[in-house]
Amino acid sequence: MGKTVIIGVLIIIAIFAGILITVHKHSSKMPEIASENLAEMQARALGSYALGYGINRFLDGNVTFIDSITGYIDDFTPFEVLDGSIDSIKFTNESDGSIRINSYVTYNINDETVYHQSEANFSFIIDDEAESNITSALVYGGSITIHAKAVITGEVTETTEFDFEEVFGLTEQEVKDEAISNDAFIINPANNTPMPDSLTWIEFEGGDSLFKVTNDWTGAGVLIIKGNLKCTAHITFEGILVVFGTLDITAHSDITGSVFVVGDTSLGAHATITFDGDIVATAFENLPFNVSCKIISWRE
């Protein structure tokens, strides 16, 4: 009986010793395993951050496609984030019209290096709701004088308050900034100054705040005048005309699209204003509409 007990105790001791040896062997690897797992987690998080960074650069217009399929961020160079780095970001046009973005990152913790690739798929939603808000040939805020044989084709709307943002879906500053970025911001223009056929913003410093047209003149797009417009010669304009002061048009002038006048309006003999929804829509393409991103899929 005593021998049996002793043998049993020895067996238990042997088993326990074996367990201790096994645990000791594996415990030496625990820091390495923990570092590797942490590096993988951080790499996934960094890959996700890189996807967001890339999409923002795309929305800012800082991505160039080297062909019709593949694009990269302009002047991109790998950069470090904490203990990792964003090595590359690639964009791919998909057949369904969406865009796939892949980010490639590296993360290092305690000599453990993990390389990781993340992927997302996204598309765009363009806010063009403001386009449908323009339905009038003329919107005016002051008095209106229509001389003999002047013709307005379309709705004529009187308003006591011109809400720029409601009409365009953008603030005045946003539209002005777009004009500045396109070198189409003009201060104190000389008479008959030609305008870009896109988006033009005119302001005045001192003087009578008057842009005057005395010779035949043409324009198109979106023309915003933070002052008065007086035309004593024939003008032809297609697009959206916004005058924050007074509008005085004579001599067989033709405006097609839509006109907004905050002050008084005077149309001389044979002047015409004609609403055209297609021309208004084309003019809106010159405005910096808000573009939002719709995420279709996301894989860290």
Concatenated DSSP letters of 25-40? HHHTTHHHHHHHHHHH
225 to each of 123, 127, 132, 204, 263, how far by Cα in Å? 36, 25, 22, 9, 12
- pLDDT score recorded for residue 129: 53
* DSSP state letter for 68: S
Give the per-residue pLDDT at 276. Answer: 95
Residues 161, 272, single domain; the answer is yes
| β partners of residue 217 | 235
Residue 23 lies in a domain: no
To which residue do tokens 């791919």 refer? 92
**What's the average pLDDT block by block, 10 residues per block, for the chain (300 residues)?**
54 55 49 68 92 90 88 94 93 92 92 91 71 84 90 92 88 91 92 89 88 92 95 93 94 91 92 94 82 85
- Contact yes or no for 107/47 (Cβ under 8 A): no
Q: Which of 100, 126, 152 is the last residue of a domain?
A: 126
Structure confidence at residue 208 (pLDDT): 79
* Within a domain: 11: no
Let me know whether 121 and 162 are in one domain.
no
Domain that holds residue 76: 30-126
62 and 181 both lie in a single domain: no
- Domain-located, residue 16: no
Note whether 182 and 274 are same-domain residues.
Answer: yes
What are the tokens at 116?
């990781």
Number of domains composing the chain: 2
Buried b (16+ CB within 10 A) or exposed e, 98-130: ebebbbbbbbbbeebebebbbbbbbeeeeeeeb
Does residue 86 form part of some domain? yes
The verdict on 137 and 169 lying in the same domain is yes
Rounded to whole angstroms, the Cα distance separating 100 from 217 reads: 47
Same domain membership, residue 56 and residue 80:
yes
Q: What is the pTM of this model?
A: 0.60
Quick one: which H or E segment has residue 5? helix 2-27
Environment class of residue 13 by beta-carbon count within 10 Å: exposed (0-12), middle (13-18) or buried (19+)?
exposed
Last residue of a domain, one of 79, 99, 126: 126
User: Which residues, other chains included, contact 212 with Cβ-Cβ below 8 Å and sequence gap of 6+?
Assistant: 191, 192, 229, 230, 231, 232
